[in-house]
Structure 1
Amino acid sequence: MTTTRHFAVSCLTILILCALSLRAAEIQTGEKLAATTNSQAVKWHPGHYAFVQSSPLGEEQIYKNFRGIEKMYTWRALEPQKDHYDFTAIRSDLAFLGKHDRRLIIQIQTKTFGAGQNYCPDYISGPDYGGGVYKTRWSSFNPVIWNERVNERLNALYTQLGKEFDREPFLEAVVIPESATTFDVATQTAIAYTPEKYTRSVESGMQALKAAFPSTVVMQYVNMPPESIQPLADYAKARGIGFGGPDIYPHDPLLTNPQHGVYRLYPPLSGLVPLGAAVQQNDYTQTAAFRGTPGETPVKEIYEFGRDKLHLNYIFWGTRRGYFEKVEAMLADPSFPKDPAGGLEPRCPQSLANPMTSRN
């Protein structure tokens, strides 16, 4: 009887040790293990990220006190020919950042504002897609997404990206660029533009990206046109899609307008969907987007506006020389919040089931 009891105790001890070892392994591997065992889990690491535009990544981009990098990848580079995809750059950046325990946020860039630039594949400009692009007031070329055939091709890119990267543990989020159009809607395109048609086309992309990345935060930047911002906010709320913007301008009279500005839509969405916004190069030195007079906005004021007025989960800080260093100093200050989210809203929104989190 004693031998039997000792054997039973030994077996129980072994089982307990095995369970503890397994739990320790789960904690150590963090979201990698969770990603393989919970199909509903969504990666969730809110906080401060450095927005490097499309710059190559190196050791100098492993910034202390930042959770990772937001980087732009153009449609043209990702799909150089129809149905021929090249995701080499994303794979390389994920591998590099993963080695340093940093996370990547992909911005799928379809719009550009430099004269003569076109981030769409050449085939989109062909007759099968009605010309496929329109000319902006900066003489760049952006996609006519309200053309159903163009919209379908962009959504196909989202699907392929999701198949490749949704389960990557160091891919934090995927962002669709700003909703603004900035062109002569009356005369340029073969497919007639209406505000309703344009809004539906943006919503189509939001839903396609959400379907492609069920385990990853997805976000639509919304700033214009005025008639689209409320419907897009409602759509994001109804479907658990992140809502954000390309700029943080605390003093922009249009964006901050309490009746019509897009910033009024952030607080009601807080706690329901992910919220994020970028601080682009000009945000440091202009008081408003293309409307304000030159004038430096202190980085602490930008941060506090994003935290207190917009209730952001994420801020993507542009790395403009002379200003990004001030952001680094702010985050490194002993008085600055040292929680992983860096003082931003850390709570996972209700729309994200079973978030996968880790300390880093």
Structure 2
Amino acid sequence: MRNITTLLLYFLLFWQRVQADSPQNYIFTDSDSLTSPIFLREDIKGAQIVYSWKQLEKSKDNYDFSAIERDMSILKKMNKKLFVQIQDRFFEPEHRNIPLYLQNEPQYLGGLIQQSDNPGEGKPAGSGWVAMQWNSQLRERYQKLLKALSESFDGKIAGINLPETAIGIDRKKATKLGFTCDRYFSATVDNILFAKKSFKKSHVIQYVNFWPCEWNNNQGYMSKLFEIAYKNSIGLGGPDIVPYKNGHMKNSYPFFHKYQGKLDIIAMAVQQPTLTYTNPQTKNKFTKEEFIEFADHYLGVNIIFWTLDAPWLHDIVK
């Protein structure tokens, strides 16, 4: 009897450890969806919400964080956590969502450059915009926003996400606006190091998937970023978990595999377009279990941000 009890105890401890090590589930959503009963589930730990630069800085140095404060308050009442993503790139032609002064004052050169394609989004050419972070004066304004956010929310939010590294731009046009491959990489690194310096308690996560000037680490940007993140206790993540997808396997995925357990945190998303991918072995859409298996064992993911469209979320609320 004692042996059976001991075995059961070991099994319970092992199962608790497995559960603790498995990726936590968060919902990638907007403020309007926080009333969903899905947030009452015990297996949902919180939300990741995207806030545009223009939404948070109404005019120069006029910050409005009321949306974050409201969302944080709603989640706190449910004992859930909030990840804040600060968005400086947009995927619709009418969404030029950076403050107007950045678009109008000459030193910022218009502030935005058109995205000529949006890989994975299914959008036509010329359907989006991205802030020109390689412009040092624009980047200074972005970092001022990050500093203001840290003063209000460091330690109160679970973490802050900086958007993906992938952009689709006309490099010839961008060059006339000061773009170079090295400047884009350096600007990304400068922003995440500044964010880490500002947020001392909340996680800082940089989304990394592709670089506009690189494939298969042929410029060394991917390997450099992961090493910088490792040495500075910065988290990394990405907008798509697609098991063994060829493009990702030639870019960020092998580095997540190499650095799993070494980074401060790895947080990745299963967004709506991700659900459309088919498992080449089964010929069916990837299941929740297949996403988690790859995220956990190959990528070393600590948190998954799930789209509300994920079918499993609409099971009976637990």
**TM bracket (short chain):** 0.7 to 0.9
Alignment partner of 2:35 out of 58, 64, 68 = 58
Partner of 1:41: none
Q: Which of these residues, 86, 91, 107, is aligned with residue 128 of structure 1?
A: 107
Distance 1:276 1:300 in 2: 17
- Number of residues paired by the alignment? 275
State the shift of 1:263 in Å. Answer: 0.2
Give 1:326 shift.
1.6
Unaligned runs of 5+ in 1: 1-44, 289-293, 333-360
Identify the match of residue 223 of structure 2 among 198, 215, 230: 230
Mapped contact 2:38–2:313 kept (Cα < 8 A):
no
TM-score under structure 2 normalisation? 0.81
Determine helix, strand or coil for the equivalent of 2:297: helix
Shift of 1:331: 10
The question of 1:301 aligning with 2:294 is answered no
Pair 1:272-2:262 in alignment: yes
Greater CA radius of gyration, 1 or 2? 1
1 CA distance for matches of 2:256 and 2:293? 14
Question: Aligned equivalents of 1:238 and 1:99: distance in 2?
Answer: 36
- Retained in 2: the 8 A contact 1:107–1:174? yes
Secondary structure in 2 matching 1:278 = strand
The alpha-carbon deviation at position 202 of structure 1 amounts to: 0.1
CA distance in 1, matches of 2:247, 2:317: 29
CA deviation string 1:286-314 (max 9, x = no partner): 259xxxxx962222111111011101111
Equivalent residue of 2:158, what SS? strand
Unaligned runs of 5+ in 2: 1-21, 117-125
Asked if the contact 2:27–2:307 (Cα under 8 Å) also holds between the matched residues in 1, the reply is yes
In structure 1, what is the equivalent of residue 311 of structure 2?
325
Aligned partner of 1:207 among 171, 187, 193 = 193
CA deviation after TM superposition for structure 1 residue 77, in Å:
0.1
CA distance in 1, matches of 2:172, 2:257: 34
Question: Distance in 2 between the 1:279 and 1:178 partners?
Answer: 14
Which secondary structure does the structure 2 equivalent of 1:255 belong to? helix
Residue equivalent to 1:98: 76
Q: After TM superposition, give the deviation of residue 268 of structure 1 in Å.
A: 2.5
Give aligned-pair identity as a percent. Answer: 29
Give the equivalent residue in structure 2 for 1:244. 237
Which segments of structure 1 move beyond 3 Å, counting only runs of 4 or more? 53-56, 188-191, 327-332
- Residue 55 (structure 2) pairs with residue 77 (structure 1): yes
User: For residues 1-360 of structure 1, what are the structure 2 equivalents within 5 Å?
Assistant: 47-53=24-30, 55-64=32-41, 65-126=43-104, 127-137=106-116, 138-168=126-156, 171-188=157-174, 190-225=176-211, 226=214, 227=219, 228-257=221-250, 261-273=251-263, 274-287=265-278, 296-320=285-309, 324-327=310-313, 329=315
How far, CA to CA, are the matches of 1:301 and 1:53 in structure 2? Answer: 26
Tell me, yes or no, if the aligned pair for 1:146 and 1:191 is still in contact at 8 Å: no
Task: Report the CA distance between 1:262 and its aligned residue.
Answer: 0.8
One-letter code of the match for 1:197?
A: R
Q: Bigger CA drift: 244-253 or 216-225?
A: 244-253
CA distance in 1, matches of 2:141, 2:278: 37
Shift of 1:191: 3.2
CA distance in 2, matches of 1:331, 1:312: 24
Contact 1:49–1:67 under 8 Å retained in 2:
yes
Write the letter of the residue equivalent to 1:248.
I
Q: Does structure 2 retain, via aligned residues, the 8 Å contact 1:299–1:327?
A: no
Structure 1 residues 221-260: Cα deviation after superposition (integer angstroms, max 9, x where no partner): 0011134322211211121100111111114211023xxx
SS in 2 for 1:118: coil
CA change 1:184–1:82 in 2 (3 A) is same
Once residues 150 and 258 of structure 2 are traced to their aligned partners in structure 1, the CA distance between those partners, rounded to angstroms, is 29
Q: Secondary structure at the match of 1:202?
A: helix
Amino acid at match of 1:154: Y
Q: Which is further off, 113-122 or 67-76? A: 113-122
- The one-letter amino acid of 1:135's match is Q
CA contact (8 A) 2:40 2:78 kept: no
